[in-house]
């Protein structure tokens, strides 16, 4: 089957084959990395039972848990470089501090519930707590939320930086390399490759940062050569824009990647310890990536067209070391694509059929999940071509997913399930959509103008919380529904 697929796609990949002659040292290193990743991922097939295929038999040790969680959170690395280049240290607040706080709250209040209540997936939990209609509604947002599209877009940019190939070809190659081992090896294959990618991501950025300090100097160089906004908070950004990312960080509470890894852990104590260690690694890595971006703003011209990280590597590093840094970027992005592709796939191949089939009916989960991996890849390629930047996808998914899913999930975990959940979820989404639509049609110079300057996430979340209080804290005023659980 695979040979016939490759033969059919061969004409599209001819530009890649033509570039194999006379490849550069950095291209050699990237190809070696891609081959090594495939070999590690394909080393061993998963057991046929679903617990092993989807959750590695629930035997994740702390080192494996940390490696797979840390790497999965960093797929948008080129966006971090772009934002830190243009905005400086405030990037650490937007994409760092808010998420550390969210992760600390997650390990304290959510992780124990995932383990104690055996919450394997969000749609499955919604189905158990609220019924089929709510689970189907939640499924849509979970599937969109974990789409690997933004990271596939970044991986495509990396391929195009190395080889002058069409965007669609770059996206297809990126999807192929990131999913082929997940089909047979399942979650265990993803974890095995994450261990390699963990080492590469830290060593690559440590190397370029050390090279920048050695060649140009330390903090004093940055203070005199970086733009004025580099060490200013809020810098060029408004506090309202910064604060919205604090709320978007709450997507951590409903991140299926966190749920999968917490459920797959050995025990709840190991999971919580692993989360604490992961936060420390995230803090260290954010330091390296943000300061690399600030070095780029101090060294490169302000009007560069490409990625600051790639442009900085081109002028700072010799060919072989530049190739090693490129490998670290590939590792960061691919570690997220394979994880999110796999989560999207079992959301589509496991959760959806089980919700539709109802209790008592058997579903061929493993086979459907393998088919769903291919469907997810195709859908993600199409989505990646639609959005201009990965950050646009993050913003859009967070804006609409949080108001819909956050309150019903947390309430059910703490045995206070939401009454009338489907109307509440729908109204929360509707308010956010209307708010977004007003901003879209009122935009000036490409900037969306929202009523009162309020982002659409806020009114949607406010509606969800308000209706929860109305229906649950004052149940005598409304007709309650039966809620299972």
**Quick check: 477 pLDDT over 60?**
no
pLDDT digits (tens, 9 = 90+) for 32-56: 888 888 888 777 665 667 778 888 8
**Alpha carbon distance 103, 119 (integer Å):** 18
Q: Cα separation of 205 and 296, whole Å?
A: 13
Averaged pLDDT of the chain: 85
Give kind and range of the element (H or E) at residue 100. helix 98-105
Alpha helices, DSSP H, located in 317-471:
319-346, 352-357, 365-386, 390-413, 421-441, 457-468
Whether 480 shows a pLDDT value over 60: the answer reads no
> Measuring CA to CA, which residue among 373, 65, 13 is closest to residue 198?
65
Strand, coil or helix: what is 187? helix
CA dist 247 and 98 (Å) reads 8
At CB < 8 A and 24+ separation, what contacts does 450-453 make?
453/240
How far apart are alpha carbons 173 and 93 in whole angstroms?
34
Arithmetic mean of pLDDT, 446-464: 87
Q: Give me the pLDDT at residue 361, please.
A: 60
199: CB partners within 8 A, 6+ apart: none
The model's confidence at residue 19, banded by pLDDT at 50, 70 and 90, is very low
pLDDT in tens, 326-354: 999 999 988 888 888 888 888 998 899 98
Q: Quick one: pLDDT at residue 107?
A: 92
How does residue 176 score in pLDDT terms, banded at 50, 70 and 90? confident
pLDDT at 113: 92
* pLDDT single digits (tens) 371-385: 888 888 888 888 777
- Residue 146: the pLDDT is 85
Q: What does the pLDDT read at residue 302?
A: 86
- Residue boundaries of the structural domains of the chain: 27-386, 392-485
**Which range (63-67, 233-237, 356-360) has the least confidence?**
356-360
Q: What is the pTM of this model?
A: 0.86
Q: Are 274 and 64 in contact (CB under 8 A)?
A: no
Per-residue pLDDT at 9 exceeds 50: no
> What's the rounded Cα separation, in Å, for the pair 188 and 252?
23
Q: Which residues contact 320 (CB under 8 A, 6 or more apart)?
A: 25, 26, 29
Q: According to the model, what pLDDT value does residue 370 have?
A: 82
Range 154-164 average pLDDT: 84
The listed range with the strongest mean pLDDT (19-23, 355-359, 430-434) is 430-434
What pLDDT shows up at residue 408? 94
Average pLDDT (73-88) is 88
pLDDT in tens, 389-428: 666 777 777 788 999 999 999 999 998 888 899 999 999 9
Burial of residue 468 (CB within 10 Å: 0-12, 13-18, 19+) is: buried
Confidence of residue 1 (pLDDT cuts 50, 70, 90): very low
* 394-420 CB burial, b ≥16 within 10 A, e <16: bbebbbbbbbbbbbbbbbbbeeebbbb
**224-283 pLDDT, tens digit each:** 999 999 999 888 888 888 888 888 888 899 999 999 999 998 899 999 999 999 999 999
At the fourth CATH level, the homologous superfamily of domain 27-386 is Sodium/glucose cotransporter (1.20.1730.10)
Measured CA distances, 79 to 82, 153, 209, 310, 412 (Å)? 5, 11, 18, 12, 35
Q: What are the pLDDT digits (tens) for 205-219?
A: 999 999 999 999 998
- Identify which has the larger pLDDT, 146 or 62: 62
Provide the percentage of residues in the chain whose pLDDT is more than 70.
89
pLDDT at 5: 45
Sign of CA dihedral 199, 205, 208, 214: negative
Residues facing residue 265 across a β-bridge: 60
Going by pLDDT thresholds of 50, 70 and 90, the confidence category of residue 116 is: confident
| Residue 21: Cβ-neighbour burial (10 angstroms; 0-12, 13-18, 19+) | exposed
Give strand pairing partners of 447.
Answer: 444
Highest mean pLDDT among 130-139, 159-168, 396-405: 130-139
pLDDT at 183: 75
Q: For residue 155, which of 76, 68, 41 has the smallest C-alpha distance?
A: 76
pLDDT at position 136 over 90: yes
């Amino acid at each position: 089957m695979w040979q016939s697929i490759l033969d059919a796609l061969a004409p599209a990949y001819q530009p890649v084959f033509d570039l194999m002659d006379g490849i550069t040292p950095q291209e050699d290193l990237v190809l070696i990395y891609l081959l090594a990743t495939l070999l590690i991922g394909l080393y061993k097939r998963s057991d046929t039972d679903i617990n092993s295929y989807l959750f590695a038999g629930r035997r994740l040790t702390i080192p494996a848990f940390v490696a797979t969680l840390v790497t999965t959170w960093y797929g948008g690395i080129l966006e971090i470089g772009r934002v830190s280049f243009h905005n400086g240290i405030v990037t650490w607040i937007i994409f760092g501090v808010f998420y550390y706080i969210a992760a600390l709250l997650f390990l304290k209040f959510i992780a124990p519930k995932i383990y104690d209540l055996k919450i394997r997936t969000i749609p499955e939990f919604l189905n158990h707590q609220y019924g089929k209609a709510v689970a189907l509604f939640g499924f849509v947002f979970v599937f969109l939320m974990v789409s690997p599209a933004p990271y596939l877009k970044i991986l495509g940019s990396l391929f195009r930086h190395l080889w002058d190939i069409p965007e669609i070809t770059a996206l297809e190659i990126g999807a192929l390399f990131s999913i082929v081992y997940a089909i047979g090896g399942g979650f265990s294959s993803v974890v095995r490759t994450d261990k390699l990618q963990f080492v590469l991501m830290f060593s690559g950025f440590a190397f370029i940062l050390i090279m920048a300090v050695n060649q140009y100097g330390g903090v004093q160089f940055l203070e005199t050569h970086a733009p004025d906004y580099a060490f200013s908070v809020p810098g060029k950004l408004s506090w309202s824009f910064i604060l919205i990312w604090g709320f978007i960080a709450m997507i951590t509470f409903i991140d299926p990647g966190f749920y999968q890894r917490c459920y797959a852990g050995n025990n709840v104590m190991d999971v919580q310890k692993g989360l604490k260690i992961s936060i420390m690694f995230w803090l260290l890595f954010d330091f390296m990536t943000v300061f690399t971006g600030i070095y780029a703003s101090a060294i490169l011209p302000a009007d560069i067209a490409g990625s600051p990280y790639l442009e900085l590597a081109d002028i700072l590093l010799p060919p072989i070391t530049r190739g090693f840094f490129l490998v670290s970027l590939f590792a960061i992005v691919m570690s997220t694509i394979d994880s999110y592709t796999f989560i999207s796939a079992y959301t589509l191949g496991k959760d959806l059929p089980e919700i539709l089939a109802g209790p008592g009916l058997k579903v061929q989960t493993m086979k459907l999940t393998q088919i769903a991996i291919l469907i997810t890849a195709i859908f993600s390629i199409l989505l990646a071509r639609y959005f201009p930047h990965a950050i646009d996808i993050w913003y859009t998914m967070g804006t609409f997913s949080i108001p819909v899913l956050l309150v019903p999930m947390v309430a059910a975990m703490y045995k206070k399930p939401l009454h009338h959940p489907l109307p509440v979820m729908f109204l929360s989404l509707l308010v956010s959509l209307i708010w977004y639509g007003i901003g879209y049609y009122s935009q000036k110079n490409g900037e969306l103008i929202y009523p009162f300057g309020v982002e659409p996430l806020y009114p949607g979340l406010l509606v969800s919380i308000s209706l929860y209080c109305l229906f649950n804290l004052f149940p005598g005023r409304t007709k309650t529904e039966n809620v299972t659980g």
